[in-house]
Structure 1
Amino acid sequence: MNKLIPILVVVIIILGIIAFLEFDKFQQNTSLTKSTNIYALFPGRNHSFNIVANYSGNYADALVIVNSSTNATLMASPFLWNIGYALGNVNMTFNNNYLHVAINLSQINKISLNVVDGYPGLMYGQELWWPFEYRTAQLQSLYLPMIVSHLSNFYSILNYSVYLINGSIDDFSYDIWLSQNPNITSLQYGDFEIMIWMYWTENLSHVPYFIYVGNMTIPTLINGKIQNLSWEVYVLPRTGSANGWTGVYFLSPLKERKAEFGVPIAYILKNMGQFIENAGMNIYNPNTYYLDAIQVGMEFSDNHGTAIMGYYLYSWRIWILS
């Protein structure tokens, strides 16, 4: 019997460690629901309607979506910014339960080669530049523009799925805009575009001018559970020209085609300075930059002139952490 006592002690210690780890996971995964204010940005209280866009000039049209529980609004745009000519259309169908973006285009003639065709999606916040040129009605606890360091910690959570028939989905993502002057009407060097890619296929390591600057560990909400994931980070010092804005790209290691996917946007913005410095740039300061707007959408490209694909967005929620 005395010989069994040390074995029993070891077993009890091991079981205790396992129980502690599981309890810690439970606390981590339930902490959001215990200490958050939850706001639904989408779906809203609209009647069903469509936005149909083609190459002929109405690609930048945007409509307001009024939310039922918060009275915040979103802007919607098919945003076919790089298509000079095409047959077919992009149809954004809104109903009470979801948004369906259906891309059905052929004979696409791009304005600029080697970049995406467009980014159909939604915008929350203030963008006084093309195409939105608008400020949405907003939550009191996330009233943009706001200095980054003043942001409450919050998760932005999307329930979505993407599908592909022909062409390529470059990314399903957030497109987030930062500036030092929230009243600007055009973007230039000194402004930042932050893209957070939840699903992606484009390999930035092979794209000229993109600089890999390391991996950021981000507590990511996937289907109800928080996982500490290691996201690749790339910086594009200047977009398009010597005076172009700076792009910072966060690439999820999971590449989820269908998920409830949450990211702590304020956490990312407050902690990305070192990664920008790794690209040889020392211009970012969360105490002087404003978060202007958050977009959600899908960058897509055609296959020899044809693009048939789309996505469903079932919900967009903001969880403010207390």
Structure 2
Amino acid sequence: MKRLLIFIFLLLFMIPILGAEPRYKDALILREPSSADIKTKNLPLTMELNFWNISSYEGETWMAFYEKDDTVEYYADIKNIVLKDKNSWVHGYPEVYYGYKPWSVRGTYCEKLVLPQKVSKFPDIYFNFKYSLWHESYLPINFAMETWITREEKQKSVSSGDIEMMVWLYAQKLGPAGRKVAEVKIPIIYNGRVKDIIWEVYVSPMSWDYIAYRSKENLKEGEVKIPINDFLKNLRDIIKQYSKRITPEQFDQMYVTDWEIGTEFGDPYTTSAKFGWTFSNFDIENK
């Protein structure tokens, strides 16, 4: 029995280490901050090793697309991190995204959901995927989705009058920006069943309007179907109550540009980070 417990402990300890190299040598691999378009079984996506707030670091990081497994895997074991701006708090957001992301020079979408799309015409769909996250216990980190909602169809950046909407399913030692203004119930499909989730809503008037929905349950892994339009409908009410720059009528005419899935990590005091994730089973379906 003692030997069995030792074996299990060693196996659990080695799981993150075993991810130190991509599982297939012929995979599409990013080994430094960059991006690449990929074609999963059901959707075209862009994967981005996004260290937007890191000036320099040491160590290993990579993101790999395994076409035969229809999976994107990410790994990081980095240290001596130097930030560009400590006031921006988090270090980066390694991610995959569907659609047109401001700051990018291209967009990926298919007929299942054309993006950018006007808020008033956004369809009732689910964005589906499977995810699993691991990280060291000391690390501030979340698992979050987001979209940029802009005044023009294909802006190259965002500013006053635009919106960043985030949806957090998991967080450790990291919280949304701004102040909590409400709690709302928006169900999702989690592991094949309807799950009623209470979301804490945070608002921050940055250079743009930032609104985050944070689940009161920490869901570190699972298979989910996210009803994006249900969040947009609630967001309209939040904008009406708390935005000083955007009216509900203006919001209706704005554009949902993309749907991003990733992990923000770090804080101004974090100088090392070891974590990773796997995403798979991407799809879009009508509700």
Category of TM-score, reference length = shorter chain:
0.7 to 0.9
Name the counterpart of 1:278: 241
Q: CA RMSD in A?
A: 2.0
Please give the alpha-carbon distance, in whole angstroms, between the structure 2 residues aligned to 1:161 and 1:229: 19
Q: 1:102 aligns with which of 75, 92, 101?
A: 75
User: Is the CA contact (8 Å cut-off) linking 2:142 and 2:174 kept in structure 1?
Assistant: no
Please give the alpha-carbon distance, in whole angstroms, between the structure 2 residues aligned to 1:258 and 1:87: 28
Pair 232,108 (structure 1): closer, same or farther in 2 beyond 3 Å: same
How far 1:62 moved relative to its partner? 1.3
Q: 2:40 aligns with which of 62, 67, 70?
A: 67
Q: 1:288 aligns with which of 253, 258, 262?
A: 253
Structure 1 gap segments, 5+ residues each: 1-46, 54-58, 239-243
Please give the alpha-carbon distance, in whole angstroms, between the structure 2 residues aligned to 1:203 and 1:50: 28
Residue deviations 1:72-96, cap 9 Å, x none?
4211110111111110132102212
User: Which one-letter code corresponds to 1:224 in the other structure?
Assistant: G
Please give the alpha-carbon distance, in whole angstroms, between the structure 1 residues aligned to 2:60 and 2:174: 27
Secondary structure of the 1:106 match is strand
Pair 128,164 (structure 1): closer, same or farther in 2 beyond 3 Å: closer
- Say yes or no: does 1:246 pair with 2:209: yes
- Say yes or no: does 1:314 pair with 2:280: yes
Secondary structure of the 1:299 match is coil
Structure 2 gap segments, 5+ residues each: 1-25
Pair 50,141 (structure 1): closer, same or farther in 2 beyond 3 Å: closer
- Say yes or no: does 1:156 pair with 2:133: no
Secondary structure of the 2:157 match is coil
Within 5 A, what are the aligned runs for 1:12-161?
48-53=27-32, 59=33, 61-69=34-42, 72-95=43-66, 96-97=68-69, 98-114=71-87, 115-129=89-103, 132-136=104-108, 138-161=109-132
Pair 101,287 (structure 1): closer, same or farther in 2 beyond 3 Å: same
Please give the alpha-carbon distance, in whole angstroms, between the structure 2 residues aligned to 1:111 and 1:167: 22
Residue deviations 1:150-205, cap 9 Å, x none?
11111112211110126524211112110110122121011111110011124548
Residue deviations 1:6-61, cap 9 Å, x none?
xxxxxxxxxxxxxxxxxxxxxxxxxxxxxxxxxxxxxxxxx6221101xxxxx2x2
Q: Report the TM-score when normalising by structure 1.
A: 0.74
Query: Highest Rg: 1 or 2?
Result: 1
How far 1:128 moved relative to its partner? 4.2
Please give the alpha-carbon distance, in whole angstroms, between the structure 2 residues aligned to 1:217 and 1:304: 33
Please give the alpha-carbon distance, in whole angstroms, between the structure 2 residues aligned to 1:276 and 1:188: 16
How far 1:289 moved relative to its partner? 1.1
Number of residues paired by the alignment? 256
User: Which one-letter code corresponds to 2:234 in the other structure?
Assistant: N
Residue deviations 1:130-153, cap 9 Å, x none?
xx32111x2223101111121111
Please give the alpha-carbon distance, in whole angstroms, between the structure 2 residues aligned to 1:289 and 1:62: 26
Please give the alpha-carbon distance, in whole angstroms, between the structure 2 residues aligned to 1:103 and 1:215: 34
User: Is the CA contact (8 Å cut-off) linking 1:237 and 1:279 kept in structure 2?
Assistant: no
User: Is the CA contact (8 Å cut-off) linking 1:169 and 1:298 kept in structure 2?
Assistant: no
User: Is the CA contact (8 Å cut-off) linking 2:53 and 2:92 kept in structure 1?
Assistant: yes
User: Is the CA contact (8 Å cut-off) linking 2:76 and 2:274 kept in structure 1?
Assistant: yes
Name the counterpart of 1:229: 197
Please give the alpha-carbon distance, in whole angstroms, between the structure 2 residues aligned to 1:248 and 1:261: 21
